[in-house]
Amino acid sequence: VEEVIQRYRGEPAALITLLIEVSRITGGLSEPALNEIGSRLGLSGTDLKATALAHRLWYSTEPPPLGLCVNTPCAARGGAEVERILREKGVAFESLRCPGSCDLGPIACFRHGSPQAISAARARSLAKAELADWEDLLSVEKPVHAFRTNTRVAFANIFAKGSHQLATARRHGVWTSAAQALERGPEAVVTAVAESGLSDEDGEGGVGRLWSSVRERGEAGYLVANGARGEPGTFQDRLLLERDPHLVLAGLVVAASATGVHEAFVCVRAEHELAAERIRGAVDEATRAGLLGERVLGRPFALKVRVRLISKAYLAGETTGLLETLEGRPPTPRPSSQARTLLGRPVLVHDLETLALVTAIANSGPGWYRSQGVNGGAGVKLVSLSGDLKRPGGYEVPQGSMLRDLLELLGGGPAQGKSLTAIQIGGALGPLVPASMLDTPLNREELEKLGVTANSGALVAITEKSCLYDIARREVAFFARESCGTCEACRLASQYLEAVEQWGAGIGAQAHIEEIVARLRASTACSLGRRAPAAVESLMRHFPTAAAEHAAGACACSPRRKPRPS
Ligand code: SF4
Ligand code: FES
């Protein structure tokens, strides 16, 4: 612990990383430990406790040792059944935010350790076993990554042996490409990126436009690579960090030199231990080789890259919640009117996918990049296929690909002869889209017509195995669990959940739900609140009988069949 405190004392944006690392060593943070850390760092123990609580690093009452992911991608893939078994057998568990391993789901974690696949059979064994054997039981099922790619830009190298190592990255020309991009000069790079139409998940007018305005204002500060997005069903970031961390770093170098930034943070979710280990290893290797540091690639340009661990609170991966996290506070989203700064300086925050694409765009040009798309789409997109599919995984696909092709050709279609009833697009807060509407191309304009306002790249397949009412209820529960509760919108969350549960119990509450949704929309301050109504609204629109069927006992999770999960 002493060593961890010494390592991070005085380091920028390191408080949450320090707390996570101490918590790992001590098997969880206690109140005396937080008071001690506070006094060592000159911070108030009360503030530190509030921060640790908001980041789920400290609990006022100890949670059960077993954590279960209760989000849609896992639930649709058998997690709902696992959950029912554990409840029936009286095994207590903590409901987890998606640990980002949805391709391996359903997922459980033992004492906040790494995500492990769990099955109905394994859940039954756990219920019979002693607590001391749980860890072994959970880690028996070794995860199998099942990702494939179609086009090859950001995922070009991920199949190579040792793809995370510098020697392999060099063999694939990753760092030579970064050097070529630097050779072209910042203006040419910014122009290429602007003309390519590349845009982050939340859009905001495109990456190139942001870079030009930073250059015009001459206000370089920090660059943050956000590998901490917590949208259930979104795991491409994990794959990039585990499989090709040098590509992300090369993209950081290109972005930093184009915008004149000299300090960057790569943020990685603490649960993704392999991803964290590999990006840290890549930063060390690249720094030792002179690719980062005082003279990047031997040029008079300095870039210091630091890796930061981010907690499992959903809002900690939301752009402004992430900035608050890096500043060592609870991950409360900032009002949109507030300037985007980090530690008092301007900051650019980018998805890892964006960073993994910029080097190729800078070198091969916007025309080439746009031509990678099909059906009017421009460029490529990383998608995470999850839910009840034969081949869930991360895929790189042309923008404009038909949704049906992605699910059926790449994802292999529904597992075990089931048929698709709906897909959820864009993560937990995306709408439920009927399978009949899958002949739609994957691009922003077309997805907006389906009610998708932010596309994290998550596509969750739901078959008749799942109760659609239960899926929508899970989204509302997710919203209630993850909101920070500082504005009116989320103070409505528990009312919203209660009304949705009454609806599923056959007590007509539809008008009440609509009234809450209208109030929620009018008062939300961040994307979590803004997107919270989508699942229930889409259920009402496209599956109007789902709640009544659930109430009448048509599904295994119906209150008529069993006590309702709390
Ligand atoms: S909408 Fe909810 S999560 Fe977002 S800032 Fe307000 S209270 Fe927090
Ligand atoms: S790991 Fe369960 S939803 Fe992502």
pLDDT band of residue 149 (cuts 50, 70, 90) is: low
The residue whose CA is least distant from atom 1 of ligand 2 is 102
**Cα–Cα distance between 358 and 291 in angstroms, integer?**
17
Average pLDDT of span 368-396: 93
The whole-number pLDDT of residue 100 equals 86
The whole-number pLDDT of residue 446 equals 86
Query: Among all ligands shown, which has an atom nearest to the Cα of 117?
Result: 2
The whole-number pLDDT of residue 531 equals 83
**Cα–Cα distance between 190 and 206 in angstroms, integer?**
11
Asked whether 245 and 175 are in contact (CB, 8 A), the reply is no
What separation in Å is there between the alpha carbon of 523 and the centre of ligand 1?
9
Q: Indicate whether 140 pLDDT > 60.
A: no
Mean predicted lDDT score pLDDT of the chain? 90
**Which atom of ligand 1 is the closest one to the Cα of 489?**
1
**Which atom of ligand 2 is the closest one to the Cα of 428?**
3
Among 242-256, 396-410, 454-468, 518-532, top mean pLDDT goes to 242-256
Residue 184 burial (10 A CB sphere; 0-12, 13-18, 19+)? middle
Average pLDDT of span 434-459: 87
The whole-number pLDDT of residue 563 equals 53
**Cα–Cα distance between 171 and 175 in angstroms, integer?**
9
Buried b (16+ CB within 10 A) or exposed e, 41-54: eeeeeeebbebbbb
Q: Is 393 in the pocket of ligand 1 (CB under 6 A)?
A: no
pLDDT band of residue 464 (cuts 50, 70, 90) is: very high
Which helix (H) or strand (E) element contains residue 117? strand 116-117
As for ligand 2, residues whose beta carbon falls within 6 Å of it are 69, 71, 73-74, 98-102, 105, 107, 232-233
**Which atom of ligand 1 is the closest one to the Cα of 486?**
7
The residue whose CA is least distant from atom 2 of ligand 1 is 490
The whole-number pLDDT of residue 566 equals 46
**Which atom of ligand 1 is the closest one to the Cα of 524?**
1
DSSP, collapsed to helix, strand or coil, labels residue 29 as coil
The whole-number pLDDT of residue 148 equals 58
Average pLDDT of span 407-415: 91
Q: What is the pTM of this model?
A: 0.93
pLDDT band of residue 480 (cuts 50, 70, 90) is: confident
Query: Among all ligands shown, which has an atom nearest to the Cα of 334?
Result: 1
Query: Among all ligands shown, which has an atom nearest to the Cα of 333?
Result: 1
Q: Between 157 and 364, whose confidence is greater?
A: 364
- Residue bearing tokens 């259920």: 539
Report which of 192, 103, 194, 129 is spatially closest to residue 395, judged by C-alpha positions.
Answer: 103
Q: Indicate whether 202 pLDDT > 70.
A: no
pLDDT band of residue 151 (cuts 50, 70, 90) is: low
Q: Indicate whether 133 pLDDT > 90.
A: no
Give tens-digit pLDDT for 315-339: 999 999 999 999 999 999 998 777 7
Give tens-digit pLDDT for 155-201: 988 888 899 999 999 999 999 999 999 999 999 999 999 999 998 87
The whole-number pLDDT of residue 528 equals 81
Query: How large a percentage of the chain has pLDDT more than 70?
Result: 96
The whole-number pLDDT of residue 207 equals 93
Ligand 2 mutation target, pool 70, 71, 237, most atoms within 8 A of CB: 71
Q: Indicate whether 11 pLDDT > 90.
A: yes
The conformation of residue 407, written as its DSSP 8-state character, comes to I
Q: Is 333 in the pocket of ligand 1 (CB under 6 A)?
A: yes
Give tens-digit pLDDT for 81-101: 999 999 999 999 999 888 888
Q: Between 149 and 3, whose confidence is greater?
A: 3
The whole-number pLDDT of residue 471 equals 95
Ligand 2 mutation target, pool 68, 82, 102, most atoms within 8 A of CB: 102
Average pLDDT of span 425-433: 87
**Cα–Cα distance between 77 and 80 in angstroms, integer?**
8
The whole-number pLDDT of residue 179 equals 98
Q: Indicate whether 66 pLDDT > 70.
A: yes
